[in-house]
C-alpha cells in the first residue's frame, strides 16, 4: 500500500539534500524506489538512495551540511582507501527526519568511465564490517541469477565489489549499477549536462548488445531492456510505460 506520509518525509529529505549540496557537487541523482515508484509503491520502510557526483575534496564539505548533523561515523579509513584508489566510491547511511538515506559519493571519472560503462567493470567500496547481500543479475530475456556479495579483508575492514554486468556463455547480464540507471533515476541537477547524456548513451549501447545477442528482430514483449529491471513489479506503471516508449524509439 502506498504511504503518503513516508513520501512526504522523503520529499522533504530530497529537498534538503538538494539545497545543501547544489553548490558543492556537479550532479545529484536519486535512484531506487523514490525515483521509480512515487505515488505507487512507497512504503513506511522506504528509504532514499542518492548519488552525488563531486570531487573527493568536496565530500568533507558535504558531510558538514545540515543533512549530516549529528552523523558521528568516523570515515577516515573510507576516505583513505578512496584517495589512494583502492575504492571507487564512498557511501554513507544514516537517518534524517526519521528517514534512512544512503548517499554514494563518486568523482566524475569514476561515474562516467566505470559506473556508466556498458562493459564489464568492477567497482569497489569500503566497509568496516562484512556486507551480507545478494546481487541480482538479469538478461534481456528476463533470465537471471543471484550472487552473494564478496568481502575482501584488509587491515581495517573489507573491500566490497559491485559488478556493472557479467557476460557468461556470451549472454549479457546487467548488475546493480546499470539497474539503477535504467530504472528512471531522478536527476536534480547536472551542471555539466553529462549525466543525462550518459544515461541515454548507456541505453543505446545496451540495445546494441541486446540486438547482437538476440537478433535484429527484437520483440519487446519477450526481449527488452525492461526485462533487466529487477523490481519491475514495484515500478509505477506510468514510469514503466515511459521507459517502454523510450526503448521503442531507440529501437526504431
The CATH number given to whatever domain includes residue 119 is 3.30.460.10
pLDDT at 180 over 80: yes
User: Average pLDDT over the chain, rounded to whole?
Assistant: 94
Answer whether residue 160 shows pLDDT above 70.
Answer: yes
Q: Hey, what's the cell of 210?
A: 541486446
Number of compact structural domains in the chain? 1
Q: Is 244 exposed, middle or buried (0-12, 13-18, 19+ CB in 10 A)?
A: middle
Environment class of residue 4 by beta-carbon count within 10 Å: exposed (0-12), middle (13-18) or buried (19+)? Answer: exposed
Q: Which long-range contacts (CB under 8 A, 24 or more apart) does 151-154 make?
A: 151/127, 154/81, 154/86, 154/126
* Residue range 24-47, pLDDT digits in tens: 999 999 999 999 999 999 999 999
Confidence (pLDDT) at 70: 85
Predicted local confidence at residue 141, as pLDDT: 95
Order of all β-strands in the sheet with 165-168: 144-148, 134-138, 171-174, 165-168
Handedness of CA 43, 21, 30, 167 (dihedral sign): negative
Q: Cell triple for residue 165?
A: 554486468
pLDDT attached to residue 61: 94
Kindly give, in sequence order, each residue whose CB lies less than 8 Å from that of residue 24, ignoring residues fewer than 6 positions away: 54, 58, 61, 62, 65
Q: Mapping DSSP to helix (H, G, I), strand (E, B) and coil, where does residue 191 land?
A: coil
Local confidence band at 1 (pLDDT 50, 70, 90 cut-offs): low
93-123 burial, b at 16+ Cβ within 10 Å, e below that, comes to: eeebeebebebbbbbeebbbebbbbbeebeb
**pLDDT of residue 193 exceeding 70:** yes
pLDDT at 79: 94
Question: Can you read off the three cell numbers belonging to residue 170?
Answer: 556470451
Q: Is the whole model's pTM more than 0.85, yes or no? A: yes
Q: What is the CA radius of gyration of the chain?
A: 18
Q: Has residue 53 got a pLDDT over 80?
A: yes
Q: Determine the structural domain holding residue 195 and report its residue range.
A: 4-251
Residue 7 in this model has a pLDDT that exceeds 90: yes
In this prediction, residue 87 carries a pLDDT of 97
* pLDDT band for position 216 (cuts 50, 70, 90): confident
Amino acid at each position: 500500500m502506498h504511504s503518503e506520509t513516508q513520501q512526504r518525509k522523503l520529499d522533504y529529505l530530497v529537498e534538503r539534500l538538494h539545497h545543501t549540496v547544489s553548490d558543492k557537487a556537479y550532479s545529484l541523482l536519486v535512484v531506487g524506489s523514490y525515483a521509480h515508484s512515487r505515488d505507487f509503491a512507497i512504503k513506511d520502510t522506504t528509504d532514499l538512495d542518492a548519488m552525488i557526483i563531486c570531487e573527493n575534496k568536496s565530500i568533507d564539505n558535504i558531510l558538514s551540511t545540515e543533512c549530516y548533523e549529528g552523523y558521528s561515523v568516523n570515515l577516515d579509513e573510507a576516505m583513505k582507501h578512496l584517495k589512494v584508489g583502492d575504492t571507487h566510491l564512498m557511501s554513507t547511511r544514516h537517518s534524517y527526519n526519521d528517514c534512512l538515506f544512503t548517499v554514494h559519493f563518486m568523482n566524475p571519472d569514476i561515474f562516467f568511465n566505470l559506473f556508466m560503462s556498458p562493459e564489464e567493470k568492477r567497482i569497489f567500496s569500503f566497509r568496516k564490517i562484512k556486507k551480507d547481500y545478494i546481487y541480482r543479475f538479469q538478461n534481456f530475456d528476463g533470465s537471471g541469477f543471484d550472487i552473494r556479495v564478496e568481502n575482501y579483508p584488509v587491515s581495517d575492514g573489507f573491500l566490497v565489489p559491485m559488478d556493472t554486468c557479467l557476460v557468461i556463455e556470451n549472454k549479457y547480464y546487467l548488475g546493480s549499477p546499470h539497474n539503477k540507471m535504467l530504472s528512471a533515476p531522478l536527476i536534480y541537477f547536472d551542471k555539466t549536462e553529462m549525466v543525462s547524456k550518459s544515461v541515454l548513451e548507456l541505453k543505446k549501447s545496451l540495445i546494441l548488445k541486446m540486438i547482437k545477442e538476440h537478433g535484429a528482430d527484437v520483440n519487446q514483449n519477450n526481449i527488452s531492456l525492461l526485462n533487466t529491471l529487477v523490481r519491475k513489479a514495484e515500478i509505477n506503471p506510468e514510469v514503466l510505460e515511459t521507459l517502454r516508449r523510450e526503448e521503442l524509439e531507440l529501437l526504431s
